[in-house]
Amino acid sequence: MGRLGLGIAVGCALAACIVAAAMVGKRARRRRKWKKMVKVLEELEECCDTPVGRLKQVVDAMAVEMHAGLASEGGSKLKMLLTYVDKLSNGSEKGTYYALDLGGTNFRVLRVHLGGQRSAILGQDIDRQPIPQHLMTSTSKDLFDFIASSLKDFIEKEGNGLEQPSPRRRELGFTFSFPVKQTSVSSGILMKWTKGFAIEDTIGRDVSECLQLAMSRKGLDVRVAALVNDTVGTLALGHYNDEDTVAAVIIGTGTNACYLERADAIIKCQGLLTTSGGMVVNMEWGNFWSSHLPRTSFDIDLDIASPNPNDQGFEKMISGMYLGDIVRRVLLRMSEESDDFGPSSSKLATPFVLRTPLMAAMHEDDSPDLNEVAKILEVLELPDVPVKVRKLVVKVCDVITRRAARLAAAGIVGILKKIGRDGSGGIASGKFRSDRPSRMRRTVVAIEGGLYTSCTLFREYLNEAMAEILGEEVSSHVILRVMEDGSGTGAALVAAANSVSEADRVQLQ
């Protein structure tokens, strides 16, 4: 071989070595980036871990905060608000009653016909419609006029086989699912808006009066007989169907809980008298906080960027309004660590672009190639994401969903612990004593909200955690029961229980 041929051969070999080295270097860089992305997931899993020991610490913290909130105003992050609902429907109520349900992005009008015995709802009509976006930040008059107009349209369509109401004035239950300081069973002052509402001139006003004035402007002869939030309505329906129902939890766009408390345990209201000896307490548990909650840097960033930093900490970890955005923040961090997601997406950097229903759809995608995940990522301007990356996305959804469900379970058990329904009174060494009958009472918790009712894996994780915390024997006595349209129908039931004109049954001495 001549010198020229040798030179060419050496040059080709050198070029091949350079190409090979470049390819090896590229693969090494990709592996490093992949490992960085996996590390984000591993750190997330570690920070979100909820072993049963930690959940029991959350249970104890919830019970302690409940005690503190009942002892004094401002004594706890939990507001523990009096509802003045001291007696729930017992089934004897008869007639037709109405309800308005304002609790989020949708608004409902209901008509309920009661037959005079437990679980005897003879029929009901429901009309659903979205709240126009502009009304969520408009004026009090605009919002309540819209509500009153909707009610008027609904009443004018009365019929559909239901017995017509008597000539007496119509009675209405108003489900208003925002923090309210109740002043009676039918009135309350709005403390603050949540869930995207921001109507300044309503804060500090009696929301029942706002509705009553709007109905008068529309020529409606309707009395607000009860003002409740969605949890109280759900509890009312649960108790109407099953008298062992002692608490209600909403796990949807937002989250909250209420329960039946002994009147003498509400220390901050000395001299509180009720005919039943108890009262429904609205916990406003979305604001619960404890150092035992497994918080991540993504939670901190979300909180800082929110309109209400350092507020609603529990809600931001377990409710549908926030879970999708936590996942989005994790995916954004991953995309910054690796180009496996493809070119950077400005859409992925947009807060709340990934809504929780989309997150749930990705989480529950069981197709071999995760096609649903691919479609949703395309909506986020992340096309052609490899299957191995899609699997990571599903895992992120799983970690955030599982943490939320297990924390919600701990919150529920915290309520049961506070009222002595967690089995501790009838248990020795973790088991029921064999020498005496169990003292564990049957306990029903009513649940409403799309996160629990529609997200299969969320529901499974929550139920699983309840069993872990309570133990198999105790958990068999605790029933979580879904209430369909509980917040609205329950408001009508509370209105029915408070429809007869009589002296207030709840008094302060």
* Residue in 86, 101, 230, 365 annotated catalytic: 230
Q: Is 280 helix (H, G, I), strand (E, B) or coil?
A: strand
With beta carbons less than 8 A apart as the criterion, state whether 326 and 356 touch. Answer: no
Distance (Å) of CA 386 to CA 377, 382, 393, 400: 11, 10, 11, 22
Q: 279 - beta bridge partners?
A: 261
CB within 8 A of 179, min separation 6: which ones?
79, 81, 190, 191, 192, 194, 284
Q: 172 - beta bridge partners?
A: 98, 224
Distance between CA atoms of 323 and 361, rounded to whole angstroms? 13
Q: 110 - beta bridge partners?
A: 99, 126
Q: Could you tell me where the DSSP H helices lie in 244-370?
A: 297-305, 315-318, 320-337, 356-363
* Residue in 76, 101, 108, 485 annotated catalytic: 108
* Residue in 177, 186, 319, 345 annotated catalytic: 177
Does the annotation mark 177 as catalytic?
yes
Distance between CA atoms of 146 and 134, rounded to whole angstroms? 12
Distance between CA atoms of 252 and 238, rounded to whole angstroms? 17
Does the annotation mark 230 as catalytic?
yes
Distance between CA atoms of 264 and 279, rounded to whole angstroms? 10
Give the active site residues. Answer: 108, 177, 230
